[in-house]
Chain A
């Protein structure tokens, strides 16, 4: 029985692992930290799996648990991983669509994001994932209005960081 649910969990996690990779990408700046966070989220998901009854989608649930893990872990280790350096080798770009100006802008954007706080990062992440405000508010456990207000603030903050 136990190993059956384990097999189900592993299968679903493997299929949806990009969600976790993307969370790691936003919350970490190098490959090692990425791996660590990935592992931590996997363990937290597995611990929470008995409470996942399938009334929400695995992906929605994974977003919630994954972000919560990243946020709490980030809070705990704030001082050690609070770095604005963006590892460009980690950020894969093919040679053809290499555009210097855009690349520079992206670099700045990513480093600007690393300066945001943990909740703001979660907002950006869900925005990049094309989630609407209903889903954002559900995932983060805040009201829809609050999510909109916060999102606007983040946009303003990013603009300010990019154009000081």
Chain B
């Protein structure tokens, strides 16, 4: 007998031996695009990390700027914040990576929904963490400028209220810029995740 005929006989025999996939599972597969959104979150966070942390490091490599920080008594503070931030961001990136793995391997709609919620939560923490840190560090940097900058500190003594208000608005503006930056980078992705989540919800009930 022809080899292929033997094979065909076996092929036909096992034609219906496959574990059948349910409609719900198919819907789940169609909504796997969540994983590509989460992949982008990971990629963007890594790029952001590389770019912004290089900027951080460049500040310390610049002698003039380092000396100015020492004059303003914030050198040690900046060093501490930079290292602290470095570690925390790496932890966040690790969590983004874990989310991606989890979504890739999730097999049920329920699990996928849970993973989407987790991802959104972590991205939100990430953005909040960044905003809080930016707020605190910029406030301290501005304050030290007022206190120790030779060109400014005598004016600061005279117009204290004016300077404090000015500094306050400056920090708000910086925060607003960062907030816009994150909204643009992650907001779109989070909305897509939410849309996907809503569609999954329709399937599940």
Contact = CB atoms under 8 A, between A and B. Distances in A.
A106 B3 CA distance: 9
Contacts of A149: none
A158 B3 contact: yes
Interface string B1-16: 0111011101101111
Contact of A14 (B8, B15, B21, B32): B21
A146 B23 CA distance: 39
Contacts of A25: 18
Nearest to B2: A155
Given A17-B20, A38-B21, A128 B8 contact: yes
Task: Give the dominant DSSP class at B's interface.
Answer: helix
B30 interface: yes
A46 interface: yes
A14 B23 contact: yes
Contacts of A155: 2-4
Interface residues of A, number: 33
Contacts of B14: 91-92
A3 to B, nearest CB: 7
Interface in A101-137: 102, 105-106, 109-110, 113, 124, 127-128, 130
Contacts of A6: 27, 30
A13 B29 CA distance: 12
The residue in B17, B26, B27 that gathers the most chain A C-beta atoms within 10 A of its C-beta is B26
The residue in A18, A21, A38, A127 that gathers the most chain B C-beta atoms within 10 A of its C-beta is A21
Interface in A13-50: 13-14, 17-18, 21-22, 25, 38-39, 42-43, 46
A11 interface: yes
Contacts, number: 66
A13 B26 contact: yes
B23 A10 contact: yes
A17 B21 CA distance: 8
A24 B21 CA distance: 13
A162 interface: yes
A150 interface: no
B158 interface: no
B58 to A, nearest CB: 39
Interface of B: 2-4, 6-8, 10-11, 13-18, 20-23, 26-27, 29-30, 32, 199, 202
Given A43-B29, A155-B4, 17 more contacts: A10-B23, A10-B26, A10-B30, A14-B21, A18-B18, A22-B11, A22-B15, A42-B29, A42-B30, A43-B30, A92-B14, A92-B17, A109-B3, A124-B7, A127-B4, A127-B8, A128-B11
